[in-house]
Amino acid sequence: MKTITLQNRIIILLTIFTIVTIGAFVAVQLSHELNITTQQEIYKANIVSLIIEERLDKILNLSLTEKEKVETLGKAMGSFKESDLIDKSYVLNGEGNIVTATEKWLIGSRGDYVDAQMVDMLNKREFTQRETFVDKTAKLFSLFLPVEDEAGTNFILRVFFSLGDVWAVIGQVYQPVIILGVALVVINIVLGVFLSRVIITPIKVFNEAAKIIASGRLDMIVDISTNDELEELGSTFNYMTKELVKMKNKAENANPLTKLPGNIVIMDDINKKIKENKKFTVIYCDLDNFKAFNDKYGIHKGDDAIKLAGEIFKEAVKNRGDQFDFIGHEGGDDFLLVTTPDRAEGIARYIIAEFDKRVRALYDKEDLSKGYMVAHDRDGKMNKFPIMTISLAGITNEDRAISSYGEVTNIAAGAKKKAKAKRASNFVLDRG
C-alpha cells in the first residue's frame, strides 16, 4: 500500500477545508439573498395586489355582460403579466373551473387543491376578502380575490407572484464567492508554504539525519531554528548523537569479558570529574594469587574469577553506591570504581565480604579443605598459594587537590603496594 506523505496530507486537508468553507459561505449567502429576495417580492406583491383590486373594482362597475367582464379581467391580468408585475393569473368560477387565464392552455381545466378549498369557501359565503397562499416549493406567492358581479355570480381571481429566482440569486452571489475562493486559495498557498518550512522541512532534515546515523555516521548534527518544540527536538536529537558517539567509544573500548569500559573511557571519566571540580574516590582492585589460580585451574576458571569480580563491583554500586558511580576494567584482574567519598567505605566492605564468600565456589573441595593450593610460582617452583583474596586501594581528593588522571595513577601505585602487603582481603584509602 502506497503511503501518503505528510506534505500531501496537509495539501488534502487544506483543499477539503477550502471546499467546505466555500460551500458553507455559498449556502449561507444564497439563503440570505433568497430571504431578502422573497421579502422584496412579497412586498412587491402586496403593492401590486392593491392595484389589481382597484382595477377589479373598475371592471366590475362597467356596464358589461358577465362574459365581457371576465374577458376584460383576463386582458387586464395579461397586461400585468407583460409588465412583469405578476407571474401568471386565472379566474375560477363557482364550480372550480378556470374560465380565463394569462396562460390560454389553462382555460377549461380545473384548479388545484388550494383552488378547490377557496371555491368551497366562496360557495359557503366564507370567502369575503382577500386570501394569500405561499408555495415554498415552487417559490410562488398566491393572492385570491373574491369577485361578485351585479347579478350575484361569484368568481375567484387567483394571481401568482414569483418569490425569487434561484439562478438570479446565484448570479448575484457568484462574484463574492469567486473573491472568497481566490482569497482562500492564496491563504492556503501561503499557509502551505509556511507549514512546509516550519514542519515538513525539519521532519525531512530529521529523516535524512536518521538515515545517515543508521549508515554509521553517529556524529551527525541537525540545525533546526524554529523557536518551538521542533527546535527543542533538534537539540535533543543532537544530544542523542553525542551520547551515541560516547556509547560507541565505550563499546569499542569495553573489555570483551566483562563488557565494562576500558582505559580510555576510565581516563575520560576521571578527567571529567576533575574538570568539574567534583569530589571523588577512586577504588582500584587487584586479585591476590590470581596468576597461580589461573595457571592451575586454567583460563576458563580464570575468566570466571574475573567475571565474578566484575559482577560484585556492579552489585556494590547498585546496593551501596550512587547512580553516577563509574566502573571500569583496566584488563586482566585489575578493576577500577569511581564513587563519592561518603560511599567509598561501604562499597569496599561490600566487595570484600561478597568476594571472600563467593570466590570459594571456584575451588575444588581438596584445595578448600587445605585452605591453599599448590602451583608454580614466578620462578617455576612449586609453592603453596592461599585462597584468592581481593586488595582494594582508594585515592580521594576530598582533602586535597588532584589535577589529572596521571596524578591519580601515581598516587594509586603506593596505595596498591600497601594493600597487597596484607595477606587478607582489605581496603587501603590514601586521603593525602
Dist CA 276 CA 425 (whole Å):
33
Residue 427: predicted pLDDT: 96
- List C-alpha distances in Å: 281 to 267, 400, 407, 429: 14, 12, 13, 9
Count structural domains, the chain.
3
Name the β-bridge partners of 284: 336, 393
Average pLDDT over residues 96-120: 87
* Contacts made by residues 374-378, CB under 8 angstroms, sequence distance 24+: 374/296, 375/292, 375/293, 375/295, 375/296, 376/292, 376/295, 377/292, 378/291
Identify the domain boundary among 167, 200, 225.
167
- List C-alpha distances in Å: 280 to 109, 277, 408: 113, 9, 11
Dist CA 244 CA 152 (whole Å):
109
Look at residue 211 and tell me if it is in a domain: no
Residue predicted with more confidence, 355 or 165? 355
Cell numbers found for residue 361: 565456589
Residue 79: predicted pLDDT: 84
Q: Which helix (H) or strand (E) holds 74?
A: helix 66-82
Is the pLDDT confidence value at 142 over 80? yes
The predicted-structure confidence for 176-214, as pLDDT tens digits, reads as follows: 767 777 777 778 777 777 776 777 777 777 777 778 777
Q: Which helix (H) or strand (E) holds 71?
A: helix 66-82
**Range among 29-33, 57-61, 262-266, 315-319 rated most confident:** 315-319
Residue 2: predicted pLDDT: 61
Q: What backbone torsions phi and psi does residue 110 show, to the nearest 5 degrees?
A: -95, 155
Residue 173: predicted pLDDT: 58
Residue 210: predicted pLDDT: 78
- Inter-axis angle of helices 299-320 and 344-358, nearest 10: 140
Residue predicted with more confidence, 140 or 299? 299
Residue predicted with more confidence, 26 or 395? 395
3-class SS of residue 136? coil
Is the pLDDT confidence value at 416 over 80? yes
- Same-domain pairing of 78 and 130: yes
Full DSSP string of 276-304? TT---EEEEEEEETHHHHHHHH-HHHHHH
Residue 319: predicted pLDDT: 95
Choose the weakest-confidence range: 64-78, 263-277, 332-346: 64-78
Dist CA 148 CA 159 (whole Å):
17
pTM: 0.52
- Same-domain pairing of 270 and 244: no
Residue 380: predicted pLDDT: 79
Which CATH number goes with the domain that contains 142?
3.30.450.20
Beta pairing class for 382-386 and 372-376: antiparallel
Cell numbers found for residue 48: 401590486
Contact 425, 352 (CB under 8 A): yes
Look at residue 13 and tell me if it is in a domain: yes
- Same-domain pairing of 369 and 409: yes
- Same-domain pairing of 340 and 245: no
Residue 394: predicted pLDDT: 96
Look at residue 182 and tell me if it is in a domain: no
Look at residue 231 and tell me if it is in a domain: yes
- Same-domain pairing of 240 and 271: no
Q: What backbone torsions phi and psi does residue 61 show, to the nearest 5 degrees?
A: -85, -5
pLDDT category at 406 given cuts 50, 70, 90 is: very high
Average pLDDT over residues 10-18: 77
pLDDT category at 166 given cuts 50, 70, 90 is: low
Q: Counting Cβ atoms within 10 Å, is residue 70 exposed (0-12), middle (13-18) or buried (19+)?
A: buried
Average pLDDT over residues 288-309: 94
- Same-domain pairing of 418 and 305: yes
The predicted-structure confidence for 380-400, as pLDDT tens digits, reads as follows: 788 999 999 999 999 999 999
Residue predicted with more confidence, 254 or 324? 324
- Same-domain pairing of 248 and 271: no
What does pLDDT average to over the chain? 83
Residue 391: predicted pLDDT: 96
Which domain, by its residues, includes 124? Answer: 6-167
Identify the domain boundary among 167, 189, 206.
167
Tell me the residue length of the chain.
432
Average pLDDT over residues 222-238: 77
What letter does residue 2 receive in the DSSP assignment? P
The predicted-structure confidence for 331-370, as pLDDT tens digits, reads as follows: 999 999 999 999 999 999 999 999 999 999 999 999 999 9
- Same-domain pairing of 23 and 128: yes
Name the β-bridge partners of 392: 285, 427
Cell numbers found for residue 144: 385570491
Q: Which of 415, 428, 429, 422 is nearest to 288 (CA)?
A: 422
Beta pairing class for 389-396 and 426-430: parallel
Average pLDDT over residues 42-48: 73
Dist CA 426 CA 432 (whole Å):
19
- Same-domain pairing of 285 and 322: yes
- Same-domain pairing of 127 and 95: yes
Q: Which of 155, 128, 151 is nearest to 63 (CA)?
A: 151
Residue predicted with more confidence, 91 or 54? 91
Residue 234: predicted pLDDT: 74
Which CATH number goes with the domain that contains 267?
3.30.70.270
Look at residue 150 and tell me if it is in a domain: yes
H runs (alpha helix) in 196-298: 201-214, 229-253, 263-275, 290-297
Average pLDDT over residues 105-118: 88
